[in-house]
């Protein structure tokens, strides 16, 4: 098993262990997005008032905008050889990074739980065990696969991408046998609030990948083109998500009563009975397995990053500690137990709570994305002092009050524009009910952080310093190269 189970966690991946091509990002993110939760996300645009025509356009726009931000994070992986969230220490401080990290862990648990509810239904029907045992069985399989690590994640992504693509082609054909596409797209009435809701739903879907997308590109060779990593990640994620969401839009528009609240049984019933039904239950579980492994693996990385920030620095030259196989298993088991508990408690009120969960996530992750990207591309110029990422007394310090203040302001700036079930900001009504909080959450902290950080030159590694991985690595071709 030593050659199968991943040895690295938040430590730097050495050059001699780098492998793969940027195309692996396309297959992984295609497979991660061709799944039932993305279908339901697309359907929500119709459920909450948009017509099918403008839902498709709004979802595509949100996928492109959010996917571009997500893919910019992915391009950091080959450059640094580090998982995504540990680089937040360069902005917030070695210990200050625990603030966004805590929220990221909540996100992973939420996505783990919501995905396990849907996959558990499929597993329960496929095995005839019932929903609750299906949820538990699926969670255990997820945890075991996440413990094996990076290589298995990519293998499952390739398999899920192929199998789920074939299944969605078949289901799409079956859907269009029952409903006329021209009739579904006949209503072209435009409403700005519900159009922006569609944009926000898909943008939040893509932005939520940002905190862990570099985890799955960090094994690529150091000189891998950042441009290639960006475009392969973007194209795989947008194609997969838009494909799934478009199916959800058309299904919700064609048969709202049959689809909403019965998503798993509707998809399987659309496909057929007997062996076909069994295969579709398997496809639903496989699609959710891929994304739930990403959430569990990312949650493990974030927990280790949080805890290690309050321990002594790692070995000389690494800046980050290694994690034993036993500790790795314990971290992942903890995530599995917590996520499964949430899934079992929330399985009966899934749809409404998931919509609000998605939109509320934007409030906390768009400021983090803005700060991280401005720092990496504009302030630090793609160079980090990697040993200092593990040393609270080093270049980045324990807490960066300036960055943390910008983050809090970025979150607060969104509240007047935020529209959720449990809170609606005062500026939502003048905008006709439209939620534009995520745009504010990108623009405001990006501008504020640039103004604050560009004066803090002591945090930025010398561009003429050593390029051996101790202050970042030799610069590969940038996004334009």
For 48-80, the pLDDT digits (tens) are 888 999 999 999 999 999 999 999 999 999 999
Judge whether 87 lies within some domain. yes
pLDDT of residue 469: 43
- Structure confidence at residue 372 as a pLDDT band (50, 70, 90): very high
Q: Is 439 domain-assigned?
A: no
Q: How confident is the model at residue 352 (pLDDT cuts 50, 70, 90)?
A: low
Q: Could you tell me if residue 428 is inside a domain?
A: no
Residue 350 has pLDDT above 70, yes or no: no
The pLDDT value given to residue 355: 55
Whether 121 maps to a domain, the answer reads yes
**The residue to which tokens 């492109």 are assigned:** 64
Domain that residue 31 falls in:
15-355
Q: Which one is predicted more confidently, 458 or 369?
A: 369
Q: For the chain, what is the domain count?
A: 1
Residue 94 belongs to a domain: yes
The answer to whether residue 466 scores a pLDDT higher than 60 is no
CATH number at residue 227: 1.10.4160.10
pLDDT digits (tens, 9 = 90+) for 141-178: 888 888 888 888 899 889 998 999 999 999 999 998 88
- The phi, psi pair for 419, rounded to 5°, reads -130, 105
Length of the chain: 481
Residue 102 in domain: yes
At 239-294, the pLDDT tens digits run 999 999 999 999 988 887 777 777 778 888 888 788 888 888 888 888 888 888 88
The mean pLDDT of 282-310, rounded to a whole number, is: 85
Residue 195 lies in a domain: yes
Residue 33 lies in a domain: yes
């Amino acid at each position: 098993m030593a050659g199968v189970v991943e040895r690295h966690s938040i430590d730097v991946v050495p050059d001699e262990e780098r492998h793969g091509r940027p195309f692996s990002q396309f297959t992984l993110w295609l497979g991660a997005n061709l799944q039932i939760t993305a279908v339901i996300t697309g359907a929500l645009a119709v459920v909450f008032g948009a017509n099918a025509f403008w839902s498709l356009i709004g979802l595509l726009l949100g996928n492109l905008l959010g996917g571009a931000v997500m893919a910019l994070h992915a391009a950091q992986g080959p450059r640094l050889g580090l998982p995504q969230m540990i680089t937040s220490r360069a902005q917030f401080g070695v210990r200050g990074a625990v603030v966004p990290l805590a929220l990221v862990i909540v996100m992973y648990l939420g996505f783990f739980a919501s995905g396990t509810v849907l996959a558990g239904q499929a597993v329960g029907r496929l095995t005839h065990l019932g929903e609750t045992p299906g949820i538990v069985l699926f969670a255990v399989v997820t945890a075991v696969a996440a413990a094996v690590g990076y290589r298995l994640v990519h293998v499952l992504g390739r398999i899920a991408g192929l199998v789920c693509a074939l299944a969605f082609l078949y289901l799409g054909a079956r859907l269009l046998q029952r409903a006329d596409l021209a009739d579904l797209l006949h209503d072209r009435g435009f409403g700005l609030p519900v159009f922006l809701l569609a944009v926000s739903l898909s943008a939040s879907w893509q932005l939520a990948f940002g905190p862990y997308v570099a985890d799955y590109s960090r094994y690529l060779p150091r000189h891998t083109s950042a441009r290639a990593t960006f475009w392969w990640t973007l194209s795989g994620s947008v194609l997969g998500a838009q494909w799934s969401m478009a199916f959800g839009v058309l299904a919700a528009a064609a048969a709202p009563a049959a689809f909403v609240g019965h998503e798993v049984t509707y998809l399987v019933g659309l496909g057929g009975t007997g062996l076909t039904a069994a295969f579709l239950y398997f496809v639903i579980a496989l699609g959710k397995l891929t994304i739930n492994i990403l959430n569990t693996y990312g949650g493990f990385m974030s927990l280790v990053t949080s805890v290690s920030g309050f321990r002594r620095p790692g070995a000389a030259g690494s800046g980050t500690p290694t994690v034993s196989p036993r500790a790795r298993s314990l971290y992942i088991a903890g995530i599995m137990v917590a996520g499964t508990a949430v899934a079992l408690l929330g399985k009966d009120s899934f749809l409404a709570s998931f919509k609000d969960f998605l939109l509320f996530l934007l409030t906390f992750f768009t400021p983090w994305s803005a700060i991280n990207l401005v720092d990496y591309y504009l302030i630090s110029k793609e160079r980090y002092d990697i040993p200092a990422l593990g040393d609270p007394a080093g270049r980045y310090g324990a807490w960066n009050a300036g960055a943390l203040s910008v983050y809090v302001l970025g979150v607060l700036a969104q509240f007047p524009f935020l529209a959720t079930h449990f809170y609606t900001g005062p500026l939502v009504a003048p905008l006709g009910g439209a939620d534009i909080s995520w745009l504010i959450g990108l623009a405001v902290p990006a501008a504020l952080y640039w103004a604050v950080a560009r004066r803090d030159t002591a945090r930025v590694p010398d561009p003429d310093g050593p390029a051996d991985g101790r202050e970042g690595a030799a610069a590969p071709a940038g996004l334009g190269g």
